[in-house]
Amino acid sequence: MARTGRFVGCFVGSVIGDALGAHFEGSWETPTLDVVQKHTRHYLERRHPQLPYTDDTAMAKVVAESLIRCKDFDASDMARRFCDEYYGDKGRGYGFNVVTVFERWKLGSAEERPFEPAKLQFGGEGSEGNGAAMRIAPIAIFAYNDWKKAAEIASGCARLTHSHPNGITGALLQCRAVFQALHANQDESQFANAFIDDLKKHVVQESPGSVYDEKLENARKLLHQNAPPSAGDVADNLGNGVRAKNSVVTAIYAFLHACKWSMNFRDMIEFAISIGGDTDTIACMAGAIGGGFWGIEKIPKMWQENVEAVDIVSEMAEQLSDMRST
Ligand code: R7I
Ligand code: MG
Ligand code: MG
């Protein structure tokens, strides 16, 4: 498959996961797969008014715009753009606390001290929300041929809003998962172990004592089961919450689960949403990995038609990948 199809699939996959998953985000009751499919398949039948994306995509678009304009990571530029995006379009369902970072930037620190507001979050501990991980896809596309560069940008971009180590490592894990998916051999259907080993080698070993080691081992155990675990088992073992430690490995698992059990992009997104909790973000992150692996051709056309901004992010993915191609 042409590599462009993977880049476009990656960004589009993340937006589709976000928009389809948003309907169930934070539902009191976890939706059953049947209930999820009633929602998602409605958007496969015919054209509808487009489903809106949420903050996950709003922020990823900003990351892409800033990289395209600056041709590299520029913390002040990205902070200013996050701030402008939020104040221009507040109703996208942003995390409760990240808004404080935007407020402080607006008071004047975006240009001079872009990293300072994030350090004040949660009494100085920094946020460990999944907001840095959910917006990582454009970085993996931009630096797809250079992991060191991808990790450097992912870490800088994360620290703008999430200074807690779990927030940053979560973003790096998701970045490495997307990076791997963009490079993976399509014929490899049995690669779960190698995929997890790679994440440990490139990300977790760099952050000793991180909670992610245990999470990845839990994911490995689930993947070794003889029958597919239920979405409820996945939520119990890996989490489904808004903190990065409770959702990043969950999304990575959803992708590996789909590979192991011969599911396609559609099935993976529906399974990811049925895990419940932070459904837009888990499906968004799984969508970026799966979309990067299977490519745009394998993402249902009607979902592409029925989700907002798919055309915009497709164009961005092409631009980002062209910038550093060798
Ligand atoms: O991480 P963030 O951008 O939120 C992203 C989530 C996604 O699900 C989006 O779809 C959207 O719905 O929001 O925003 P933050 O406000 O930094 O973090 C999100 C939430 O995580 C916070 O509001 C807290 O509930 C929780 N959280 C923490 N709670 C206690 N202590 C994050 N870090 C901490 C912490 O250190
Ligand atoms: Mg959201
Ligand atoms: Mg969410």
Any idea what the Cα angle at residue 247 is, between residues 242 and 248, rounded to 5°? 125
What spacing in Å lies between the alpha carbon of 169 and ligand 3's midpoint? 18
Q: Specify the CATH number for the domain of residue 178.
A: 1.10.4080.10
Is residue 1 pLDDT above 60, yes or no? Answer: no
**Mean pLDDT throughout 127-136?**
98
What spacing in Å lies between the alpha carbon of 131 and ligand 1's midpoint? 7
* Structure confidence at residue 208 as a pLDDT band (50, 70, 90): confident
Rounded Cα–Cα distance for residues 270 and 303 (Å): 12
Q: Which domain holds residue 133?
A: 3-323
The string of DSSP codes covering 159-211 is: HTT--SHHHHHHHHHHHHHHHHHHHS-TT-SS-HHHHHHHHHHHTGGGSTT-T
**Number of Cα atoms under 13 Å in the Cβ half of residue 190:** 0
Cβ atoms of 20 and 40 within 8 Å: the answer is yes
Rounded Cα–Cα distance for residues 103 and 52 (Å): 24
The protein residue with its alpha carbon nearest to ligand 1, atom 31, reads 122
pTM equals 0.98
Q: Give the count of domains, the chain.
A: 1
- What is the per-residue pLDDT across 43-100, written as a single tens digit (0 to 9) for each? 999 999 999 999 999 999 999 999 999 999 999 999 999 999 999 999 999 999 999 9
Q: Is residue 125 in contact with ligand 1, taking CB distance under 6 Å?
A: yes
Cβ atoms of 306 and 43 within 8 Å: the answer is yes
- What is the per-residue pLDDT across 149-183, written as a single tens digit (0 to 9) for each? 999 999 999 999 999 999 999 999 999 999 999 99
Is residue 189 pLDDT above 70, yes or no? Answer: no
Q: Is residue 98 in contact with ligand 1, taking CB distance under 6 Å?
A: yes
Check the CA dihedral 302-13-98-107 and report its sign: negative
Torsion of CA 223, 224, 228, 232, to 10 degrees: -60
Q: Is residue 287 in contact with ligand 1, taking CB distance under 6 Å?
A: no
